[in-house]
Chains A and B, each alone.
Chain A
Amino acid sequence: MSESLELTPDEPGTVRTRTPIIEAHGIVKRFGGVIAVDDVSIAVESGEIHGLVGENGAGKSTLMRVLAGVLAPNEGAVRVDGEPLDPGNTRAALEAGVSLVHQELSLVPEMTVAENILLGSTPTRFGFVDTKEQRRIAVDALKEIGVSVDLDEPIARLSVAMRQFVEIARAIAREPQVLILDEPTATLTPAETEYLLDMLKRLAGRGLAIIYISHRIPEIFTICDRVTVLRDGRHVTTVEIGETTPGAVVQHMVGRELELELQEHREDPKIGEVVLSARGIRAPGVNAVDLEVRAGEIVGLGGLVGAGRTELVRAMIGADFRTGGEATITLGGTTRRVTSYRSAITAGVAYIPEERRTDGLALTMAVVDNITLPNRTALSRRSVLNRRRVKEFARSLADAVNLRPPEIQREVGQYSGGNQQKVVLAKWLGREPDVIILDEPTRGVDVGAKAEIHRLIYELADNGAAVLVVSSDLPELLDLADTIHVVRDGRVVGTLSGRDADETSVMALASGQVEADGS
C-alpha cells in the first residue's frame, strides 16, 4: 500500500490540492482474536461529504469510533488538521473538532432536549449549571440544523426521528470540523431523510467535513463527493462519486456480483382465512383501529415515524397497555382472545420489536442464549434444558439468517448492528410462528442481508403465516406487502393493495395531503 497520504490512490486522475482536515493512517483494530479493522487509511477534506459503505460487520462503525477517539486502535494513527490525535481519548477528539453521531441513539431519555444537547459539556457558572448559556447553545445548534423542538421536552417523549435530530444538534453544538454520522437515516422516513440530506449538504457547503455511513446506496449517490468501501475490515476502494455507479459500489462491498434485484411481490400468494383480527384498538397515540391479517398474507403498515404504528401493534398484542378494543387470533377453527402479551405469544405470535438493543436482545448474553429464550420450553424436558439440542438449534438458526461470523457462543453485544438484527429474527423464526409482527425488520441491515430477510419473510408467508410489517422504508414496504394500511395520527387513513400502491400514493396518505376513503 502506498506510503504517501495522497488521497484516492486508486484513482490517478483525481489529485486534490486541498489538505485533508482528518486523516487516519494504517488503522488496525482487533477485538480479542477478531480483526475488525485491518490497515485502513482514509482522509477527508473540509467541505467534503465522504460516504462510507460496506456490509454488516465490515468495520465501518469501529473505524469511526477510532476516528472519534472512542476506541484506541492497535496500530495506526489519526491526525486532525495535521495534529496527531491522542488515541482512545474522546474528549481530545471532541476538542480537536471530531463529533460522532453513534449508530445507536445515545441520549438520556429522562433528560430534556437542552440538557441532552449539552451533555458532557454542560456550561457552568461558579460551579452551577448555567442554564441560560445551556439554552443559548442548544437553540443555536437546533437553528443550525433548522429543527424546532421544545427545549424542555424530555427525550423520552420525542419521536425516534426527532431524537435523531437532537443527536445531530448535540454533535453540532460542539462546533466540529468533522461530523461523522453512523447510519443516521436508518430510523427516518423518506421525507425526513430528504430533509437530513439537504441539511448535510448545507453544512458541508459551509466547510464542515462529513463522513456519512449508510446502507442505502441511493443516499450515498445523492450527497457524497466520494465514497470509501470497506469489506471484511479492509479498505477496498475510494472513488469520486461521479466516476462510479451504484452497481459497482455494491459489487465492491460484497466482493462478487450480487443479484441486486430484490424479489418484488410474490407470484400469487395463497391467502387464507383471517388469523389476526383487531377491532377498535385504543392506546395512547392509537385511535380505534381495526385490522385484519389473513393466513399467508403480508400486511404492511405505512406512515410517518410517530404516526402510531409501533404503538398500534404493541397495544394489539398486549405488549403495552391497551385502553380499548380487542384482538383475537384464529387458528384451526378456534379463536382466542389476546388478553395479555403472554397469551399472544402462547397463541403463536412472534413480535420483532423496533428497538433491538433495548427490547430485542440481551446484549451481555451469547447468541445461543438469546435464541434459546423464546424457545426454552421446546428445548427442555421437565424444565431442564437439553444442552446439545440448544446448541444444534441455535446453530441451524444462525445459519438460516446467515449470521456472520456464525459463532453462537459470542456475546450479541459484540456483533455489528446488522448482525444483531439477524439474531433477533433468528430467535423468533425457531418458533415457526403463525402470526409474525415485524417492526422495522431491516433497519441497519446491508443490501445482501436485506434480500435474505425479505426472502425469509416471503417464506414465512408462503408457509401460511399471517405477517404484519411496519416499515418506514417505503420501497421495502411496497415490495413486501400484499396490502398496505397507511397510518396517520393513530388512525388507519387509507388502505391500498400492494400491487397498486406506489411511493406517491402512500406518502400522500401518510402526510395527510389526501383523505382516502376506506376506514
Chain B
Amino acid sequence: MKLFKKSLLKSLWVFHLPLSPCNNCDIEIVDALTPRYDLERFGIQLVGSIRHADVLLVTGVPNYKNWQKVKYLYEQAPKPCFVVAVGTCACGRGMFKDSLNSPCNVDEIVPVSMYIPGCPPKPEAIISGVVKLVERLKSNKL
C-alpha cells in the first residue's frame, strides 16, 4: 500500500478544467509545463482525458451553465482524485463573488484539496502549491 501511495505521489497526472476563466490562469498553467519549469521532473504530466487524471486543476468561476458539469466530471474521474483550485477566481470567486451569473464557489461543488491564490498565480506559485499538496498527502492529512 505504501508503495502504491508513493508511486501516486511521484506521478500525478493533471487534467486541466477551465470554468470560464479569463484565460490568464490557463496560460500560467501551460507555462508551468514548459521546459523552463519542467514539471515532468516530478512526474507531473498534462493529460487530455479525465479518465487518466489524478489531479483536477480548476480555474475560473463556475457559472450556471457549467457548475453541474464540474460535479459530473469529478464523478467520472477514477479515484483517488484531488482537486486543486488555481487562481483567485477558483479559490473564492474574487471580484465575481456577488455576480448574478455565478451560483457558488468551486469548493461548494467538489472537495478542494489545495488552493493556489493569485490573479494569475505565477508558475512558481503553482509548482509550490503542487509540492505542498504532495507533502500534505504524504503526511496523510487528506
A and B pair up: no
